[in-house]
Amino acid sequence: MEVHVQRSTILAPHAHPLKEVPLTIFDLFASNINIAVLFAFTAPTPSNTEIIEGLSKTLVHFPLLTSQLDYSRLRRRPCLVVGGKGGGALVVEATVDADLSDFLPLEPSADFHLLHPPTEETHHLFQVQLNRFKCGGLVVATITHHRVADGQSMSTFFVAWGETIRGTPITSLPVYDQSWIKPRSPPKCEFQHWDLEFVRVPPYRNGSTSNQKDEDPSKITNILLRYSSEFITTKLKPKTKGKYTTFETVLAHLWRKITMARGLDDRRHTMIRVTVNGRPRMRPPVPNEFVGNLVLNAYPESNVKLLLQGGVERAAKIIHDAIRRIDESYFQSIIDFGAMHGEDDLVPVYDTDGDVLSPNLEVDSWLRFRFQEVDFGGGGKLCAFLPDLGAFRGFGHLRPGFGAGWGFKCCCRVV
């Protein structure tokens, strides 16, 4: 794939008053990494000028995406600086000497890194590259720093961007109210958060950690698994008597299959780190349009022998029970934890993992996000959506698929 960069532009922050927004405990828990995704649209599509103008107008409502991260020790807690000098969103325009149809359906490929802006430009928390194919097709590749927003937030943003390009009002305006992130008086931690969400000491000593495992990235390969609605409905759901959600059922199936493929000893334990959206769990519930991070993890675990002998139903129950435990009281507990340890050097557990998670897994659900609703107009249609998972062995996610049946896709690293 030959990609030719034509020009780069920085959309400067709009004239917002200078404001410092401290990172919440949920922002600090998020991985300190960039998240990259690809949207592919068939021709015809709006011009680059129309898309960039639409982006500029949308960013007025999402100013955190043009802010700057400040980790200065002069502050009690890292913060986002809105409206200051610098910042802005990076926009790259490029052309590709090929037809989009040559790459459909999108499969994980190292070549797709060419379609993304350079990730070393970490100064910009939101970056986008518009890739025009010879046939008129368009791939919009974006990079967003995870400490600014989670998947739910970004799906709200992308839908709003498409609406702005099409000249329609934004149907779901972002919500920034953080009044619900309020510790009790006095704060009280009812659950253990050290070593589950955060570690006590910075993980890096002389460039490594005691529990960090790394592997040559070239030996780790993305794979894409497709599960049709029919397979889930007629093959998997009957095994659980329909008692569990689609996510819990498919994840139970994957957990057992991956554990078998790894050939783990029967006496070992295996665990899945599962992301849990706190918006519907808070009381009162937080709107889906809340922009920021509001995700914690559940940790279903099992002895390998029991996991493989117990079948899909038992595995789904383990997952279901672990997710249910991450309820409103758990989210309130970590809010209090943040109040008690706000001046500590909080390091999320993600920073200690390395890129080999075996015998464990991390699997996220994107099934309820709105990425498949993104519509840039012009007559073309969204025909593919693909996140870049990075080089982590044992990481994956479930998301809605494109095409007949709207089944489900799972992206994961081979084990």
Going by the DSSP 8-state scheme, the letter that residue 297 receives in this structure is: E
Are 231 and 303 part of one and the same domain? yes
Are 13 and 87 part of one and the same domain? yes
Are 219 and 285 part of one and the same domain? yes
| Predicted pLDDT of residue 367 | 87
Residue 358 clears pLDDT 90, i.e. is over it: no
Most confident range (mean pLDDT) of 75-89, 210-224, 299-313, 338-352 is 299-313
| Predicted pLDDT of residue 183 | 94
User: Pick the catalytic residue: 27, 336, 375, 388?
Assistant: 375
- For residue 1, give every residue at least 6 positions away whose Cβ sits within 8 Å of its Cβ, in sequence order, or none: 96, 98, 103, 111, 114, 115
> 388 to each of 23, 38, 408, how far by Cα in Å?
25, 8, 17
- Report the DSSP pairing between strands 269-277 and 361-365: parallel
Residue 180 clears pLDDT 50, i.e. is over it: yes
Q: Does the residue 181 lie in any domain?
A: no
Q: How far apart are CA 298 and CA 273, in angstroms?
A: 6
Can you say how many angstroms the Cα of residue 230 is from the centroid of all Cα atoms in its chain?
27
Going by the DSSP 8-state scheme, the letter that residue 205 receives in this structure is: B
Q: 270 and 304 in contact (C-beta within 8 Å)?
A: yes
Would you state the structure tokens that stand for residue 335, as one six-digit string?
């809010």
Are 261 and 394 part of one and the same domain? yes
Residue 53 clears pLDDT 90, i.e. is over it: yes
Peptide bond into 44 cis (omega under 30): yes
| Predicted pLDDT of residue 120 | 61
Q: Does the residue 179 lie in any domain?
A: no
Q: Does the residue 377 lie in any domain?
A: no
Q: How far apart are CA 81 and CA 23, in angstroms?
A: 10
| Predicted pLDDT of residue 312 | 96
| Predicted pLDDT of residue 212 | 52
Q: 192 and 97 in contact (C-beta within 8 Å)?
A: no
Residue 7 clears pLDDT 60, i.e. is over it: yes
Are 340 and 224 part of one and the same domain? yes
Q: 49 and 57 in contact (C-beta within 8 Å)?
A: no
Q: How far apart are CA 244 and CA 227, in angstroms?
A: 17
Are 141 and 271 part of one and the same domain? no
- For residue 103, give every residue at least 6 positions away whose Cβ sits within 8 Å of its Cβ, in sequence order, or none: 1, 40, 109
Residue 326 clears pLDDT 80, i.e. is over it: yes
pLDDT of 119-129, one tens digit each? 665 689 999 99
Q: 255 and 410 in contact (C-beta within 8 Å)?
A: no
Q: Does the residue 354 lie in any domain?
A: yes
- Of 48, 247, 90, 61, which is closest to residue 158 (Cα–Cα)? 61
Are 152 and 232 part of one and the same domain? no
214 is catalytic: no
User: Pick the catalytic residue: 146, 193, 253, 341?
Assistant: 146
| Predicted pLDDT of residue 73 | 57
Q: How far apart are CA 266 and CA 291, in angstroms?
A: 43
Residue ending a domain, among 165, 196, 228, is: 165
Domain ranges, residue 120: 3-165
Instruction: Find the range with the poorest average confidence among 4-18, 32-46, 245-259.
Output: 4-18
**Domains: count for the chain:** 2
Q: What is the mean pLDDT of residues 367-380?
A: 93
Helix (H) / strand (E) containing 222? strand 222-227
Residue 389 clears pLDDT 80, i.e. is over it: no
Residue ending a domain, among 103, 132, 165, is: 165
Q: 229 and 405 in contact (C-beta within 8 Å)?
A: yes
Q: Does the residue 199 lie in any domain?
A: no
Residue 406 clears pLDDT 50, i.e. is over it: no
Q: Does the residue 373 lie in any domain?
A: no
Residue 405 clears pLDDT 50, i.e. is over it: no
| Predicted pLDDT of residue 307 | 96
| Predicted pLDDT of residue 408 | 44
- For the chain, the straight-line distance linking the first and the last C-alpha, in angstroms and rounded, comes to 28
Q: Is 259 exposed, middle or buried (0-12, 13-18, 19+ CB in 10 A)?
A: buried
For the entire predicted model, the pTM comes to: 0.91
Q: Does the residue 379 lie in any domain?
A: no
Which of helix, strand or coil describes residue 270?
strand
Q: What is the number of other CB atoms lying within 10 angstroms of the CB of residue 207? A: 6
Mean pLDDT of the chain: 87
Are 150 and 7 part of one and the same domain? yes
| Predicted pLDDT of residue 122 | 63
Integer-rounded Cα Rg, in Å, for the chain is 22
- Report the DSSP pairing between strands 79-82 and 395-400: unpaired
375 is catalytic: yes
Q: How far apart are CA 82 and CA 59, in angstroms?
A: 12
Which of helix, strand or coil describes residue 235?
helix
Q: Does the residue 208 lie in any domain?
A: no
| Predicted pLDDT of residue 407 | 41
Q: What is the mean pLDDT of residues 48-65?
A: 96
Are 260 and 397 part of one and the same domain? yes
**Phi-psi region at 112: left, alpha or beta (left = phi > 0; alpha = psi -120 to 50):** alpha
CATH for 63: 3.30.559.10
Are 145 and 223 part of one and the same domain? no
| Predicted pLDDT of residue 206 | 37
pLDDT of 145-171, one tens digit each? 999 999 999 999 999 999 999 999 999
Are 107 and 253 part of one and the same domain? no
Which of helix, strand or coil describes residue 95?
strand
Q: What is the mean pLDDT of residues 359-379?
A: 91
